[in-house]
Amino acid sequence: MKMRKVLALLAVCAFAVFALAGCGGSQNASSGSGSGAKVLKVGSSIDFAPFEFQDEGQKEYQGFDMDLIRAIGKEMGYEVEIQNLGFDGLIPALQGKNIDVIISGMTINDERKQNVLFSEPYYQSGLTMVVRSDEQGIKTFQDLKGKKVAVQMGTTSAAEVSKIDGVEVKTLNTPADCFMELKAGGVDAVVNDRPVNDYYITKSGATGVKALEEKLTAEDYGIAVGKDNKELQEKINAAFKKIKENGEYDKIFAKWFGEKK
Ligand code: ARG
């Protein structure tokens, strides 16, 4: 019957429209131009206040990196979608194209440059250590010989501490795990990024622990993109330049660190 054929045809068309609509919505930054909202898929290890963290009972990820990448994405005309991944899983996720960029307090270094492209540096950091307040035996990194030290897996802290002779390194999933281990007496020190250690001591009301002044390294943070994604690297650098010029970067910096460094 004719009517049946028309109905069947209509059903096929309707299905095709739905299927197409479904595809358009999730186009990501690496798939180039085209119609529909452009989405920047961002990976971050949300365990690193004040750069990326989540307050209890709050949905939104917050921190310096979160504000920075949202501002950069906005400048580029992309919708920013942030995924929480373990720090040591970030580069593999980028290589597997599950994400387009990493922003995660990630230090720019030569080893990582073999696998990713970095943006211009956006924050000057370095490594310091945290010990218990009553600690007498550890005043400098030299004193770590024969001690137990907690570090976050896959970080520069993990790499640097392993270079110090005679240290027993305990590799844990997050900086919070490291601090917990220190308080519980399972390790003698935590080596981690200076701004995160300082924030932990001063802002999160930690007691019974102190941060030491000495810096083991100086490090710069960068935003990472895929090794084959020069185009995105350039777009990010251009947007970053823009928000440095128009004062947006300074505003975000002041919000999280109080003053311009
Ligand atoms: N800056 C250090 C590194 O790149 C630690 C970064 C850790 N980031 C984080 N979100 N947990 O290895």
Query: 113-138: per-residue pLDDT in tens?
Result: 999 999 999 999 999 999 999 999 99
List pLDDT tens digits, range 197-242.
999 999 878 889 999 999 999 999 999 999 999 999 999 999 999 9
List pLDDT tens digits, range 135-152.
999 999 999 999 999 999
Q: Can you tell me which atom of ligand 1 is nearest the CA of 158? A: 12
What mean pLDDT is predicted for residues 71-89?
A: 98
Smallest CA-to-CA distance from 226 within 35, 27, 41 is with 41
**Does residue 94 surpass a pLDDT of 80?**
yes
Enumerate residues 6+ apart whose C-beta is below 8 A from 120. Answer: 222, 237, 240, 241
Q: Is 19 exposed, middle or buried (0-12, 13-18, 19+ CB in 10 A)?
A: exposed
pLDDT of residue 206: 86
Smallest CA-to-CA distance from 199 within 138, 128, 103 is with 128
In terms of pLDDT, which residue wins out, 26 or 6? Answer: 6
Which residue of 104, 157, 173 sits with most ligand 1 atoms within 8 Å of its CB, as the best mutation to test the pocket?
104
Reported confidence tier of residue 5, pLDDT bands at 50, 70, 90: low
Residues with CB under 6 A from ligand 1: 45, 47-48, 52, 87, 104-107, 152, 155-156, 193, 219
List pLDDT tens digits, range 16-66.
444 444 444 344 554 444 446 799 999 999 999 999 999 989 999 999 999
What mean pLDDT is predicted for residues 71-94?
A: 98
On the question of a cis peptide bond just before residue 50, with omega within 30 degrees of 0, the verdict is: yes
Which residue of 48, 62, 64, 102 sits with most ligand 1 atoms within 8 Å of its CB, as the best mutation to test the pocket?
48
Backbone angles phi, psi at 209, to 5 degrees: -135, 155
Q: Can you tell me which atom of ligand 1 is nearest the CA of 52? A: 10
**Does residue 258 surpass a pLDDT of 70?**
yes
- Please give the mean pLDDT across all residues of the chain: 90
Partners of 152 in the beta sheet? 172
What mean pLDDT is predicted for residues 99-121?
A: 98
pTM of the full structure? 0.86
CA of 169 to the centre of ligand 1 (A): 17
pLDDT of residue 204: 78
pLDDT of residue 23: 42
% of residues, the chain, pLDDT over 70? 85
Set out the domains of the chain in order of their start, with CATH numbers: 4-124+220-257 (3.40.190.10), 127-211 (3.40.190.10)
pLDDT of residue 248: 98
**Does residue 156 surpass a pLDDT of 50?**
yes
